[in-house]
Amino acid sequence: MIFGFIAKIYRKYQEYIHPGIYVTRHGILYREKDCRYNVYPLQRLIVGKVWVGNIPSQEKGRLILHANSELIVKGNFDIIGSTVVVLPDAKLILGSGYINFHSKLHCFNHIEIGENVIISENVIIRDSDNHQITGGNSMFAPVIIKDNAWIGMSAIILKGVTVGEGAIVAAGSVVTKDVPPHTIVAGVPARVIKKDVYYTI
């Protein structure tokens, strides 16, 4: 029965890359030498997933794995018209959820996404400043987005940030510090505007 399910998935998507990784005709996967990926049993990653009603994004979903990078997929995750880049020697851990149209996730060192995470359109997530600032701290710091977090449209998540479980980042926010669980943060820089928040999809 499980082989029939896998065959059905294979027919639906254009290319079967690795157990649990699928690339549709709306997706692009670029892999350099010695990149590694591990998908947990019965979980999957779809690159180029189409939105509700099979309406494709105007932009292809892209997954770029550089040399010696590592991708771990713990749940069912969709890359929808967005770009996910794992730089050399970096590790990206994906739980379940999706990253939506025109968003960009650049993993230079370590980024971890939890379960049931919503990443909306035009979001930027980075764990690096890209350039060393004189007298500053390390150029890299891990980004962790915990279970059931919701990242609103055009938000920016910068290095060293942990977004707590069930937290909501409002549209257009620039997050430079940790977001407490079950809060809403908004603004530039983002600050807590509401506590004890719970939401349903």
Is residue 151 within 8 Å of 167, Cβ to Cβ? no
The reply to whether 165 falls in a domain is: yes
Is the residue at 201 inside a domain?
A: no
- Beta-carbon contacts of 196 under 8 Å, excluding residues fewer than 6 positions away, are 182, 183
| Nearest residue to 160 via CA among 180, 137, 181 | 137
DSSP 52: G
- Residue 171, domain CATH: 2.160.10.10
Using DSSP's 3-state secondary structure scheme, residue 9 falls into helix
What local confidence, expressed as pLDDT, does residue 117 receive? 98
Q: Is residue 178 part of a domain?
A: yes
What is the per-residue pLDDT for 6?
42
Answer yes or no: is 62 within a domain.
Answer: yes
DSSP states along 113-167: E-SSEEE-TT-EEESB-SSPPTT---SB--EEE-TT-EE-TT-EE-TT-EEPTT-
131 is known as an active-site residue: yes
Specify the pTM: 0.87
78 within a domain of the structure (yes/no): yes
C-alpha to C-alpha distance for 175 and 12, rounded to whole angstroms? 38
Could you tell me the mean pLDDT of each successive run of 10 residues in the chain, 201 residues long? 43 62 90 93 90 64 96 97 97 98 97 98 94 71 98 98 98 98 98 94 68
Domain-located, residue 199:
no
Q: Is residue 69 part of a domain?
A: yes
Condensed to tens digits (0 to 9), the pLDDT of residues 157-190 reads: 999 999 999 999 999 999 999 999 999 999 999 9
Report how far residue 68's alpha carbon sits from residue 112's, in angstroms, rounded to the nearest whole number: 17
The single residue of 26, 102, 110, 131 carrying the catalytic annotation is: 131
Burial of 49: CB neighbours in 10 Å, binned 0-12, 13-18, 19+: buried
Residue 23 lies in a domain: yes
Over the stretch 7-22, which tens digit does the pLDDT of each residue have? Answer: 444 445 556 567 789 9
At 74 the pLDDT is 97
How many separate domains does the chain show? 1
| Structure confidence at residue 153 (pLDDT) | 98
What is the pLDDT at residue 99?
97
Q: 187 is in which domain, residue-wise?
A: 2-194
Q: How confident is the model at residue 2, as a pLDDT?
A: 44
How distant, in Å, are the alpha carbons of 132, 138, 139 from that of 135? 9, 10, 11
Radius of gyration of the chain (CA): 17
